[in-house]
Structure 1
Amino acid sequence: MRELVIGAAQLGAINKDDSRESVVTRMLALLDQAALRGCDLVVFPELALTTFFPRWYMEDQAEVDTWFEREMPGPATQPLFDFCREHGIAISFGYAELTPEGHHFNTSILTDKTGRIVGKYRKIHLPGHVEFDTERDFQHLEKRYFEPGDLGFGVWRNLGAVMGMCICNDRRWPETWRMMGLQGVELVALGYNTPSVNSQNRTEGERERLFHSELSIQAGAYQNATWAVAVAKAGVEDGFPLMAGSIIVDPNGFVVARAETNGDELISHRCDLDACQFGKRTIFDFARHRRIEHYGLITSRTGAEAPPEHDDA
């Protein structure tokens, strides 16, 4: 039996005035709890070091760039990597990445138990819009501040498992999960910052948002026979609510651990990686059952196109 104790380290609200150092202190407190529980890997949310700044419309690129990390680890985040090495715990967390070439990405990384970065993912499915939208209750400007990820959907062998990463809106797209599933993924680490209300549909509140989030994660885990760890940044940031609902899902799609608060909270579960094998050998044995000759539209067409109408007269 291959077992890993996985921790999902939900973070509560991070406001505009909160420093990176103060956030890292909170992350270290959750890692202390994880060490006491014997966690092998701890997953933190998307954009774990700052507020969800894409809700703010900014025209000054210098101001935008203050939310981005130019190196990882940097002075503020080095204590996280030191903790990994000292306690033998791997971590995954999200941040805004500014590359030496001047590219801006919504990024997550994965370390081993020595604090060495072994995997990097850049968010591919960016939601939202580019310019200020007067029709929205609040702004969601990821398409303004980030470029679509350029690394694809990678997986990495780490801690004896095949691990992958995705970020927030990626969870809603079945292609995300299937790309990792086709590489034998056994554990997907997923961080998110999801508003509690849909900015374009006020009737869609937290209840519906949580349902759709869990539906996507459970389906992705089941249909690819993988564990999934989905971790929120939650609470009210500068007056804007983010939903919680951090969960750990098993390879059959069942939720095995769930956060109970909207604040800093660690949930954990002992995950049997071999539990992935039944699904991978039976109903989701891709080599036996997939029929790629019929899937051409998935990569040849981006938008949906209905067939032409016929005149039945």
Structure 2
Amino acid sequence: MREIVLGAAQMGPIQRADSRQAVVRRMIDLLEQAHGRGCTLVVYPELALTTFFPRWLMDWAEVDDWFEREMPNPATAPLFDRARALGVAISFGYAELTPEGRRFNTHILTDRQGAIVAKYRKVHLPGHSEHDPDRAFQHLEKRYFEPGDLGFPVWRLPADMGGAVAGMMICNDRRWPEAWRVLGLQGVELAILGYNTPSVNSQQGEEGLEKRLYHSELSVCAGAYQNATWAVAVAKAGDEDGHPLMGGSIIVDPDGFVVARAETEADELLVHACDMDATRFGKTTIFDFARHRRIEHYGRICGQTAATPPAG
């Protein structure tokens, strides 16, 4: 059995005034809980170190305060040190400012010795780039981040993590089947995803939390099933300075079934022992891509962006 004991470390709200150091202490508390329950990998949310700052229009000097210029850094070093001491791999998201001045919504993964072994930058940025007076609140990811430039790679994890093939996505990526399929075509066995999703649709307030949670879970379960992979989707949730984020963190098996689900919008740990060999049946039967894919008919997927209905 190639097993990863997976911890999904949902985080409650992070307020605008909360320091990185205070947040990291919460992350370490969750890590300690995970170690006590036998976890070998702990996954935290998107933008795990800060509040969801794209909800505000800010000048650039203030924006840069939300970004990390190196990783690890003095604020996050205690998390890396504790993970290394416990022998637990970690994965979390943050706002990345590169030495060249580029800004990305980023997620990383370490090995069990605390070394960063994988980095992903969010491709499908939602929202808008300029202030929108018609929205109930702003969602300025297109203003503060560039689309990711690393594609959707996968990584072969070390033997002490089952030699699993892992890939990463962030938040809105989960809604795009193309992202899942690119990972699936590389044999992904564990899809890691963090998110910060508002509980309210800024353009359609009547949508309701129930529907938003359903769509999130539907996307992850479908992606896991259609690519025969384990998936973990981890939220930052709760009321951030009057702006609620939904929870709904889940761990999903390769048949698309939820095997663990968060019950709160607070700091909460989900744990499940995931056998990477459970992905084999789907990958060698209904989703045996080599036998069943018909790429001669898929040209539109990479040949156009906007939908083009027939005339008439």
Alignment of 1:114-153 (within 5 A): 114-153=113-152
SS at match of 1:221: helix
Give CA deviations for 1:22-63 in whole Å, capped at 9, x if unaligned: 0000000000000101101000000000000000011x2111
Q: 1:250 — aligned with what?
A: 253
Query: 1:307 deviation in Å?
Result: 1.3
Q: Give the match for residue 307 of structure 2.
A: 304
Partner of residue 215, structure 1: 218
Q: Give the Å deviation of 1:219.
A: 0.2
Matches within 5 A, 1:266-277: 266-277=269-280
Q: Which residue of 2 aligns with 1:29?
A: 29
Report the equivalent of 1:287. Answer: 290
C-alpha distance in structure 2 between counterparts of 1:6 and 1:233, whole Å? 17
Give the residue type in structure 1 aligned to 2:31: L
Q: For 1:205 and 1:65, how far apart are their aligned partners in 2?
A: 33
Once the 2 structures are TM-superposed, how far is the Cα of residue 73 of structure 1 from its aligned partner? 0.2
Q: Does 2:83 align with 1:81?
A: no
Name the CA distance, whole Å, in 1 between partners of 2:2 and 2:51: 37
Match of residue 206 from structure 1: 209
Matched, 1:162 2:165: yes
TM-score of the pair, normalised by structure 2: 0.98
SS of 2:66 mapped into structure 1: coil
1:181 matched to 2:206? no
Residues 263-301 of structure 1, C-alpha deviations (whole Å, 9 max, x = no match): 000011000110000000000000000011100000010
- Alignment match, 2:263: 260
1:172 is aligned, of 165, 171, 175, to 175
Q: Which letter does structure 1 place at the counterpart of 2:302?
A: T
Distance 1:157 1:206 in 2: 37
Report how far residue 308 of structure 1 moved: 1.7
Task: Using the TM superposition, give the Cα deviation of residue 85 of structure 1 relative to its aligned residue in structure 2, in angstroms.
Answer: 1.3
Please give the alpha-carbon distance, in whole angstroms, between the structure 2 residues aligned to 1:260 and 1:30: 16
Q: Which amino acid aligns with 1:305?
A: T
Shift in Å at residue 194 of structure 1? Answer: 0.2
Runs (5+) with no aligned partner, structure 1: none
Provide the rounded CA distance (Å) in 2 between the counterparts of 1:19 and 1:188: 30
Rounded Cα–Cα distance in structure 1 between residues aligned with 2:51 and 2:173: 20
Q: In the aligned structure 1, how far is the partner of 2:156 from the partner of 2:208?
A: 38
Structure 2 distance, partners of 1:163, 1:72, is 20
Distance 2:102 2:62 in 1: 15
Q: Which residue of 2 aligns with 1:54?
A: 54
Identical aligned residues as a percent? 74
2:239 is the alignment partner of 1:236: yes
RMSD after superposition: 0.5
Q: How far off its partner does 1:80 sit?
A: 1.3
3-state SS of the aligned residue for 1:185?
Answer: coil
Q: CA deviation at 1:2?
A: 1.1
For 2:302, what is the secondary structure of its paired residue?
helix
Please say if 1:42 is aligned against 2:75.
Answer: no
- The count of residues paired between Structure 1 and Structure 2 equals 308
* Counterpart residue number, 1:16: 16
Q: Distance in 1 between matches of 2:49 and 2:83?
A: 17
For 2:95 and 2:230, the matched residues in 1 are separated by 26
Displacement, 1:3?
A: 1.1
For 1:207, the aligned partner's letter is E
SS in 2 for 1:229: strand
SS at 2:273 equivalent: strand
Q: Distance in 2 between matches of 1:2 and 1:100?
A: 38
- Per-residue displacement from partner, 1:2-22 (whole Å, max 9, x unpaired)? 111000000000000000000
The equivalent residue for 2:105 is: 106
Taking the aligned partners of 2:81 and 2:296, their CA distance within structure 1 comes to 49
- SS of the residue aligned with 2:206? coil
Moved over 2 A (4+): none
